[in-house]
Amino acid sequence: MSLVYLEYDFKINPLQPATDILIAELGELGFESFVENETGLLAYILKSEWRDDVLEDLFVFQNPNFEISWTSKEIEQQNWNAEWEKNFHPIIVDDKCMVRAPFHEAVEVDYDIVIEPKMSFGTGHHETTHMMLQHILDHDFDGKSVLDMGCGTGVLAILAKKRGAGDTEAIDIDEWCFLNTQENVERNDCSDIKAFQGDSSLLNDKKFDVILANINRNILLEDIPVYVDCLKKGGTLFLSGFYLEDLDAISSKCGAYGLEFEKNLEKNSWVAAKYVN
């Protein structure tokens, strides 16, 4: 007997970071599968797991910067893998790095990364991840200790390791991301990357040459002092997950804690910036 699911069709404006926040929150409520599209997100939950108040009190709905509406309908069980494969295409960054799923054919590039993202953020398709990968390709990681904060799939940590990084840690507050990172580091022969579930409170007394943090404006502003405290002398901090209009606020906060802005990349109004001490 086939299982009955409810499909929620969320219309989201602007798409990011609201989509990522919504996925994280829905995952905690029992939603099993997600498909991102041009207007927002399709989310699926077993009808037997659904309740009347399932969407009440979601944080993302309280944010005045996001406009989110939705409809729902019953559907029969689908082949989720086929649906996911249909919507996930490989990307190539600067002709040097390919991010692909296991079912995609490899091509000749310097760095071939195989990611199975499940419910985690970080396939390289989003502008912020793409630009952070560009920063990594342009930076010397040889022997450097690295932190990937808000790691999602672990793709940034994996590329840093493939670029010669030494001790590397990856941290995400979301359990799906933590577990997915563990799987992906194994899949890419980077099993010496240490993955942890948690937030910046895990960083007590740790020191890194390079910190990569692709999260969002508010968390970055809150945690920049922690990152600076964890950065070795002569270290580098890469930040993304915010818009161009937020760059001054991010740079001001970094400057207040002794970091110097070096450069930034911009794509579709998203920014990935580099700071040094």
> What residues are designated binding site?
129, 150, 172, 214
Residues 223 and 160 sit within 8 Å (Cβ to Cβ):
no
List the structure tokens of 190: 């980077």
Distances from the Cα of 186 to the Cα of 12, 179, 190, angstroms: 34, 11, 6
List the structure tokens of 198: 């948690």
Numbered residues of the known binding site for S-adenosyl-L-methionine: 129, 150, 172, 214
Crossing angle of helices 217-230/247-256, nearest 10°?
Answer: 30
The single-letter DSSP state of residue 137 is H
Crossing angle of helices 155-162/127-137, nearest 10°?
Answer: 10
Give the residue from 221, 212, 214 showing the smallest Cα distance to 240.
Answer: 214
Edge to edge, the sheet with strand 146-149 lists 194-197, 168-172, 146-149, 208-214, 231-243, 270-276, 260-267
Count CB-CB contacts under 10 A for residue 134. Answer: 17
Instruction: State whether residue 174 is helix, strand or coil.
Output: coil
